A and B are shown apart, each in its own frame.
Chain A
Amino acid sequence: MNSVVKIDNLVKRYKDLLALDHFSLDIKEGEIFGLLGPNGSGKTTTINCILSLLSFDKGSVEVLGKEMNPQRYDIKRDIGVVFQNVAVFNELTVYDNINYFCGLYIKDKAKRKEYVEDAISFTGLEEFRKFYPKKLSGGLLRRLNIACGIAHKPKLIIMDEPTVAVDPQSRNKILEGIKELNEKGATILYTSHYMEEVEQICTRIAIMDRGKNLAMGTKEELKRMIKTGETIEIEVYQLNETQQKEIKELPHVIDVKYDEHQLKINCSGGKHNLVRILDYLQEKEIAFGRVYSQLPTLNDVFLEITGKELRD
């Protein structure tokens, strides 16, 4: 598959701060590529470098097979951007805003009208076309922000945390919309610090922190990179240190933590981990309550790689 975005050894400094540290990335055509990292990890800087909104100190950026620079209007024609902050004119109506931003790409009036209507219907803003942005709710405003970014039907859509401060209902609608755009042929670069979103929609993910690409792959590949294959949590009323030690010695158990009647056991991949632990508790006549078992999340991946939680 062709590379839509190819970043090679990108270095960006803000005075003494190294925002991107030899960052590399390769996004293939048709992907929904997730860029996952905590706030300040360098996601927005990466996007701004891809769009040539920021200059960089070292490395190269190729978009749609061509080297990107601020004057490459031919490449820009095929890029749509949805910024983290809503970028619309408060003085223009919903329709006029979409029409304006679409008009920066599409000169043909009839075609533009058709594209604007498509964007309105895609984002469900039909009833609000004459509204001014200040009259819209947070969710609707985000949808308008998306409509302005995608109205010209670009091949590559870059979305920088488009669901920040959005209610769950609107968030689901936005995520469904992104999948739909991808199904229609657009390649999507999606950044977020919400691992659930990235896990839900992205076909491939890069985890970044402090300007570095820490790991990259499908979510399954990422999860296989870490030792934890399963996390079991059991409500246990009393557990002494000897018993904790014995549990840790059970097969596939990596780590055991007991705090405030919650027993948390990290296991490597293996069958019957839960059964084995429950058998031990019954054998030792240890009273227990609710039991949870879950496969590793991207947060576990991030935690194991960086030693901190995604939202720290």
Chain B
Amino acid sequence: MQVYRAFLKILKKNLPAVSIYFFIFMGLTIAFSRSGNENSKTQFEQEKLTLCIINQDDGGLGKDLKDYLSTLHKLKNIKNDKETLQDALYNRQVDYILYIPNDFTEKMNQGITSEVLRTIKIPGGTAGFFIDTQVEQYLSTLKLYLKADYAKEQAVKQAKKDLSVQTKVTVPNGEEVSELEPAFYYFNYLPYIFICITIMGLGPILMAFQKKEISDRNNCSSMSLKNKNMQITIGCITFVTFCLIIFMFLAGIMYSDFVFSINGLLSFINAGIFILIALAMTFLFAQFAKNENILNMGCNTIGLGLSFLGGIFVPHEIMGDKVLQVARFTPTYWYVIANEKIQGIKSFAHLPKEVLISFGLEAAFAISIFSIGLIITKRKQDAK
């Protein structure tokens, strides 16, 4: 096992560089999986702001407006003093100050809605526009009912009723939110890490063995080519197995409930197949890479390219149809599909066929990429 031992020695020499990648990616994955969890609200909730309303109207409609706004926002009582009010706005104690003048009801009855109120807002802030729109909506609706000869109380009631109609907003996020969500993100980012770590960890070793001078010297030796290739293959498998174990071990520590469930087992299989794809890609890429700079470049291009295109960093739901059509030709797409479907599985009996199809397609990708690498190696040999 001379070649295998040399393989491990070279790997050991490269390990500090790989470890840096490992820790950076690990940190990012954990951060992403946490932020992914926090940002994964699937329901829209209206923002509430802090308002100060100075109501000087004695006709009643001012009070109704105040009541209406209190259902949408938080109201704060502040002394009606110019300086105190300005300070409150400056110190962000309130986001908006609304003056309802004493002739407000009178003007509304006359059908005047423009410039009947006075407001003070934070300059450049969006909060002012938001409340302006709501106040304007209320006044327009109320005016409509008053013009239609509704009694004052009835008009207010109808206006409030109309404006209470809400549209349900659902943010597209694929599956339902579940307790397993952090683990989903952890497993979703794994392909990117696998691609980078295998290219950076195994690429330099494969390149060293494929260097013309070394390869010639190896081929001149009394050890058969088959034996040498087998030992290099065992070396590669050792590395990817080690990586897989490490990442599963960490997943086990962070998301133990998930990892020791049927979902964890299927995620492990999904990751296991994908790391073979990463290995095949490294094998293929090492045939072309002439030096470590090209290896670095390839690592970033392939890793980021496949991650963005396949839906690792960007959910499929917000990707365009044409992009998705192209994405189907990437292994990362099928990995993500499998990962999404795995989250909802409760038992093997309910295993969706999409998961098995994705596994099969991923394996087909691994075999195809590896075969292309072998054909290129054979052609290089034949060219001699």
Contacts known (A53-B384, A83-B217, A91-B14); A77 close to B222, Cβ less than 8 A: yes
Give the distance to chain A from B201, nearest Cβ to Cβ, in Å.
13
A89 within 8 A of B: yes
B157 within 8 A of A: no
B10 within 8 A of A: yes
> Hey, which chain B residues are within 8 Å of A149, CB to CB?
217
Give the distance to chain A from B290, nearest Cβ to Cβ, in Å.
15
> Hey, which chain B residues are within 8 Å of A89, CB to CB?
6, 10, 208, 214
Name the CB-closest residue of A to B212. A85
Give the distance to chain B from A63, nearest Cβ to Cβ, in Å.
11
> Hey, which chain B residues are within 8 Å of A51, CB to CB?
216, 219-220
What CA separation (Å) do A66 and B164 show in the bound complex?
98
Is A103 touching B2 in the complex (CB atoms < 8 A)? yes
> Hey, which chain A residues are within 8 Å of B219, CB to CB?
51, 53, 70
Give the distance to chain B from A223, nearest Cβ to Cβ, in Å.
34
What CA separation (Å) do A182 and B204 show in the bound complex?
38
> Hey, which chain B residues are within 8 Å of A79, CB to CB?
220
What CA separation (Å) do A83 and B211 show in the bound complex?
13
Name the CB-closest residue of A to B223. A104
Is A53 touching B222 in the complex (CB atoms < 8 A)? no
B13 within 8 A of A: yes
Interface centre among B13, B211, B220, B223 (most CB of A within 10 A): B220
A24 within 8 A of B: no
Is A104 touching B2 in the complex (CB atoms < 8 A)? yes
A75-95 vs B: 1/0 string, CB under 8 Å? 011010101011111111000
> Hey, which chain A residues are within 8 Å of B384, CB to CB?
53-55
Main secondary structure of the interface of B (DSSP, over half): helix
Is A104 touching B9 in the complex (CB atoms < 8 A)? no
> Hey, which chain B residues are within 8 Å of A92, CB to CB?
6, 9-10, 13
Contacts known (A53-B384, A105-B222); A83 close to B216, Cβ less than 8 A: yes
> Hey, which chain B residues are within 8 Å of A105, CB to CB?
221-223
> Hey, which chain B residues are within 8 Å of A148, CB to CB?
217
What CA separation (Å) do A291 and B222 show in the bound complex?
56
- Which residue of A48, A85, A90, A100 contacts B6 across the interface (Cβ within 8 Å)? A100
A131 within 8 A of B: no
B84 within 8 A of A: no
B218 within 8 A of A: yes
B45 within 8 A of A: no
Is A100 touching B2 in the complex (CB atoms < 8 A)? yes
Give the distance to chain A from B342, nearest Cβ to Cβ, in Å.
39
Q: Using a CB-CB cutoff of 8 Å, which residues 90-131 of chain A contact chain B?
A: 90-92, 96, 100-101, 103-105
Is B216 touching A53 in the complex (CB atoms < 8 A)? yes
> Hey, which chain B residues are within 8 Å of A16, CB to CB?
none
> Hey, which chain B residues are within 8 Å of A90, CB to CB?
208
A259 within 8 A of B: no
Q: Using a CB-CB cutoff of 8 Å, which residues 23-76 of chain A contact chain B?
A: 48, 51, 53-55, 70-71, 73-74, 76
What CA separation (Å) do A62 and B3 show in the bound complex?
29
B8-21 vs A: 1/0 string, CB under 8 Å? 01100110000000
Q: Using a CB-CB cutoff of 8 Å, which residues 209-260 of chain B contact chain A?
A: 211-214, 216-225
> Hey, which chain B residues are within 8 Å of A83, CB to CB?
213, 216-217
Is B222 touching A87 in the complex (CB atoms < 8 A)? no
> Hey, which chain A residues are within 8 Å of B214, CB to CB?
87-89
B283-294 vs A: 1/0 string, CB under 8 Å? 000000000000
Q: Can you report 5 residue pairs joining A to B where beta carbons are below 8 Å apart?
A: A51-B220, A53-B220, A91-B14, A91-B208, A104-B221
Given contacts A79-B220, A81-B216, A89-B208, 15 further A-B contacts (CB under 8 A): A48-B216, A53-B219, A53-B220, A54-B384, A70-B219, A70-B225, A71-B224, A73-B224, A74-B222, A83-B213, A83-B216, A85-B213, A88-B214, A103-B5, A105-B223
Residues of B within 8 A of A (CB): 2-3, 5-6, 9-10, 13-14, 204, 208, 211-214, 216-225, 384
Q: Which 8 A-B pairs have the closest CB atoms?
A: A87-B213, A103-B2, A104-B221, A77-B222, A91-B10, A91-B13, A87-B217, A76-B222
Residues of A within 8 A of B (CB): 48, 51, 53-55, 70-71, 73-74, 76-77, 79, 81, 83, 85-92, 96, 100-101, 103-105, 148-149
